[in-house]
Amino acid sequence: MAGEIDKKSNFSKWYNEILKKANIVDVRYPVKGLYTWHPFGFKLRNLVYNELKDLHEDTGHDEVRFPLLIPKTNLQKESEHVASFEEEVFWIDRAGKNELDEPLALRPTSETAMYPLFAEWIRSHTDLPFKIYQVVNTFRYETKHTRPLIREREISSFKEAHTAHKGPEETEEQIKESIDIYSNFFNSLGIPYFITKRPSWDKFPGSKYTIAFDTLMPDGKALQIGTIHNLGTNFSKTFEVQYEDSDGEQQYVHQTCFGISARSIAALIGVHGDNTGLALPPKYAPTQIVVIPIIFSDEDEEEILETCRNIKKQLENKGIRVEIDESEDRPGRKFYKWELKGTPLRIEIGPRDLENEVMTLVRRSTGDKKQVSLENPVNTIEKEFNEIKKEMSNQANKEFNKNTNKVNSPEEGVKALSNGGAVTADWCGTKTCGKKLEEKLSADILGTILDSEAEGPCIGCGETGEKKILIAKTY
């Protein structure tokens, strides 16, 4: 992006600029919080979501599609759920000239759309576990600062999964599986994350508890990129979702739900991008390789182009997404254009390369350049892709770990958080102390680190520490 905007010191501006320059989304739709995907952005989105869908399918979740509109009485059945979403719901109460008999809500999430039908679909213990997901748009009238992909009012790419089980043990097993699915997903994107159990005051409305994935964005703020909720029997009692157990008794199912949005794309862009533009792991780049002929004279032209096309064909036959840039632009201009789009690998072929029977490879992530034989390009490229992926993950992890530090007092916390990032601390586990701590640090308790134990006393009140918590400023 001509290197003008610095990602770290001016993240908001960098982010908006990259969404525009790299053709991810257009923000000029005339309704606040609604954004339009460009073709390039949507290709990237689909590559990422195909992985997410595969991970669900591979673990036995089947895709469904429920309607967008929820009757008011259904939405309002679960009291804790509706109380929390009340302020965020868009309503339809008219159609043409007529007022509707019953207002319809645009789904803010689909529990109350789905579970009345779960009561019909689930009859017997042989129907369990029951595992479905859908990728849809949902609507929330967000009052905090809206941002493309990060805080949308039309959550354009909402993946929500919903499961039902016989009892609490099976439900805990499902939570573990969902944590695995999300871990695999973010590992594959090279996005580092914390997994925490949200404090009671920040759990999903209507759930017993919430497990959340958070990453750190370049401005040092934490972004919640996925959540997993144990719903217990709260919703099944409300919507009468029962099954007949092996003794012929009626039992309420135990439920979970878990969601991911386009925040996963925002994180991918934010974590790996740099002042030149996007940087994408090979698996997710709409164009994985660009081949650039370096032509100095008419004499060389034909043979160079021939070689470029030949390489392209060999790679394409293996399903690698590759393009040749045969435009009239000068090479430097081409390099810049494909770097901005995050193309992970550039192949340059010029007269010198031909002479030596090599091609020049340039990695987007590091700028590293090397010559490799023209023989067997598929093998070479597959190896390159693996290394690039590893390198990008390592780089992201390094940054993430550098920005996560243990503190032993609120003062240390304030100081550490002033540079952005997250801090870990020992905590007594009480809400009053937690709330005070959040105020003192002007930051949020993301939650308790799973399976952690405190090493010392609570940094808030000095009482016995129970758990290790993560604290960060958040979006």
Which residue ranges make up the site for ligand A5A (CB under 6 A)? Answer: 109, 140, 142, 151-152, 155, 160, 204, 224-227, 229, 257-259, 261, 263
* 3-state DSSP helix/strand/coil % of the chain, to nearest 5: 40, 30, 35
Please say which residue, 86 or 439, places its beta carbon nearer to ligand A5A: 86
In whole angstroms, the minimum distance from the beta carbon of 465 to Zn ion comes to 8
Which does residue 392 touch among Zn ion, ligand A5A, none (CB within 5 to 8 A, set by kind)?
none
In whole angstroms, the minimum distance from the beta carbon of 438 to ligand A5A comes to 19
Binding mask 399-428 for Zn ion (x = CB under 5 A): -----------------------------x
Q: Which of 33, 232, 420, 460 binds Zn ion (CB under 5 A)?
A: 460
User: Tokens 């997993």 map to which residue?
Assistant: 228
Size of the site for Zn ion (CB under 5 A): 5
Measured at CB, which residue is nearest to ligand A5A? Answer: 259
Element (H, E) at 234: helix 234-239
Which pair of structure tokens corresponds to residue 266? Answer: 């925002």
Please say which residue, 414 or 461, places its beta carbon nearer to Zn ion: 461
The Cα-based distances of 353 to 252, 308, 341, 343 in angstroms read: 69, 11, 25, 21
**DSSP per-residue string spanning 285-330:** -SS-EEEEE--SSHHHHHHHHHHHHHHHHHHHTTT--EEE--SSS-
In whole angstroms, the minimum distance from the beta carbon of 463 to Zn ion comes to 5
Please say which residue, 11 or 204, places its beta carbon nearer to ligand A5A: 204
* SS3 category, 61: coil
255: β partners: 164, 232
The answer to whether 182 touches 161, Cβ cutoff 8 Å, is: no
In whole angstroms, the minimum distance from the beta carbon of 226 to ligand A5A comes to 5
Does 445 sit near Zn ion (CB under 5 A)?
A: no
**Those residues with Cβ within 8 angstroms of residue 317's Cβ, 6 or more apart along the chain or in another chain:** none
Does 458 sit near Zn ion (CB under 5 A)?
A: yes
Please say which residue, 188 or 360, places its beta carbon nearer to ligand A5A: 188
Cα–Cα distance, 280 to 190 (Å, whole number): 9
Does 396 sit near Zn ion (CB under 5 A)?
A: no
Name the residues that contact Zn ion, by CB under 5 A.
428, 433, 458, 460-461
